[in-house]
Amino acid sequence: MKVSYYPGCTLKTKAKNLEDAAVSSMAALGVDFQELQRWNCCGAVHSLADDDLIHHVAPVRDLVRAMDQGSRQVVTLCSMCYNTLARANLLMRNDEVKRKTINDFMSEETDYHGEVEVVHFLNFLRDTVGWDTLRSRVKASLNGMKVASYYGCTLVRPADVAIEPAGGGKVMNEFIDALGGSPVDFAASTVCCGSYQILAHPEAALEVIGRIIESASSAGAEALILSCPLCEYNLAKKQAELVSSGKISKKLPVYYFTQLLAIALGLGPEASRLDLNEAGSVEFLKAKNFPVESGARA
Amino acid sequence: MLPETAPVRACGLVYPARALTEPLCFLNVKGKRKNMPIEISEKTIKHEFIEKVSQLSGQDIFKCFQCGTCGGACPMSGQMETLPRRIMRMAQLGMEENVSGSETSFTCASCHTCSANCPRGIDLARVMEAVRLLTLRKNVNKINPSKVPAETVRELPQIALVSCFRKLTS
Ligand code: SF4
Ligand code: SF4
């Protein structure tokens, strides 16, 4: 099965672990993940101002590329790319006037009307691979590991691009369940991690990051999974700082959901790429006897 | 200046103009967290500002009935200079200096939690963007990309840098 895949910038640099784990897992499941050719940055955020059309050009161009390369679907991994592409797609489907302006502006490209479907990898696993197939391919069950699903903002807001209908919040839990883990519900699973404000207003972001980690830990989670490199930076890389400032009582291992997928499928360290995670996350899985360690840590 | 009896649209209700010439509101201006009387009159209401915020955001800001759900749900409200509800109220009253002078829209993380919860269906994240842009478009930068330490640039994921610069620079 050939599937068109849009990685986005961060997966090629800071979040190789999100990408490598997904690509290896798909190969193991017999899905031919084909990276879109000549893709560009999606712009990371959707422009909210009515007169700001220029910032929609980047994501729309990616969708045009997908259409021109014969894809009906484009699968994304990064939550922010998903949100930006899906919202630009909706705009091109629903707003006749803006669609015309954008198409006219991009006169060198094929006209686009929202022909391509933007699909997040979690929904691809659910709808195309299927939980039953996935369950049958698990070689190293998570064995009841208590895992909290962190959705953050961009997978669930706004409602018209949410990967599940409002009140859903199930797909990541179903994913954990298929891998043999025990999903842990926690109050902050869709609370914003502070996003890019970690750069401009770090105090405000750190406050909410602390609340999210505490919420997951106190709900009994042993680990937390997510699908966004910015959430990962905030929720994983900032934990040491939060422990020393007393905002959280203990560290909580954080993984990209694709990493637990690779591990459960029995793939080795080259696939799960835990060498790129924070200290403590490899140790946690090693203590549970998963084969997660390669040579040197990066 | 309107004649005394001409109706003026503010806060979703129609007031006689005279009511607006008297100091009628106690608002916490600029988040000083203390009440101080302010005057709202036809002289102080910046209609053009109301118009621009409405156009850029595509929202009817007069729908807001000041319930405060937005700020209650907002992850950043603890560190915001002015609560989102107050921004809405001041925007309705055309208080341009107070709205644009507040750091609130630059502390916003565009997370859409307020929009998802507003009982009046206002996409407040878009109102925040409109308010931000009206300042940024005067060639103002709230963060200077060249001043971000090299260490931070090495560490941060690209999406963090791109989104921050998109939201906080002109
Ligand atoms: S939630 Fe909506 S109606 Fe309530 S104060 Fe905020 S913007 Fe106004
Ligand atoms: S979009 Fe901005 S104002 Fe609204 S809840 Fe998020 S941070 Fe707060």
For residue A5, give the DSSP letter. Answer: E
Q: Which residues in A32-71 are b (16+ Cβ under 10 Å) and which e? A: ebeebeebebbbbbbbbbbeebebbbbbbbbbbbbbeeeb
What average pLDDT does the segment A266-279 reach?
Answer: 94
**Residue A197 and residue B113: Cβ atoms within 8 Å?**
no
Percent of chain A with pLDDT over 70: 97
Burial (CB count <10 Å: 0-12, 13-18, 19+), residue A289 = exposed
Q: Which domains does chain A have, with CATH numbers?
A: 2-121 (1.20.1050.140), 133-287 (3.40.50.11810)
pLDDT on residue A165 = 82
Q: Which residues line ligand 1 (CB under 6 A)?
A: B 64-70, 84-85, 88, 118-120, 122, 124
Cβ neighbours, 10 Å, residue A129: 19
Which residues pair with residue A5 across a beta bridge?
A35, A75
> What ipTM score was computed for the predicted complex, to two decimals?
0.93
pLDDT on residue B25 = 45
Spacing, Cα B77 to ligand 2 middle (Å): 8
What does the pLDDT look like over A208-250, one tens digit per residue?
999 999 999 999 999 999 999 999 999 999 999 999 999 999 9
pLDDT above 80 for A36: yes
Fold classification of B46-138 is Fumarate Reductase Iron-sulfur Protein; Chain B, domain 2 (1.10.1060)
Which residue lies with its CA nearest to atom 2 of ligand 2? B108
What average pLDDT does the segment B100-111 reach?
Answer: 97
What average pLDDT does the segment A122-127 reach?
Answer: 97
What average pLDDT does the segment A284-294 reach?
Answer: 87
Query: Chain B: residue nearest A209 by CA?
Result: B75
Would you state the torsion angle of the CA atoms of residues B105, A60, A7, A12, taken in this order, to the nearest 10 degrees? Answer: -70
pLDDT above 60 for B23: no
Gap between the Cα atoms of A139 and A179, Å rounded: 9
What residues of chain B lie within 8 A of the CB of A153, using their CB?
111-113
What does the pLDDT look like over A143-163, one tens digit per residue?
999 999 999 999 999 999 999
pLDDT above 90 for A1: no
- Beta-strand (E) ranges in A22-144? 32-35, 73-76, 117-120
pLDDT above 80 for B7: no
Gap between the Cα atoms of B135 and A73, Å rounded: 39
pLDDT above 80 for B13: no
What are the domain boundaries of chain B?
46-138
Q: Phi and psi (nearest 5°) for A48? A: -100, -10
**Residue A195 and residue B155: Cβ atoms within 8 Å?**
no
Which residue lies with its CA nearest to atom 3 of ligand 1? B64
Gap between the Cα atoms of B52 and B44, Å rounded: 16
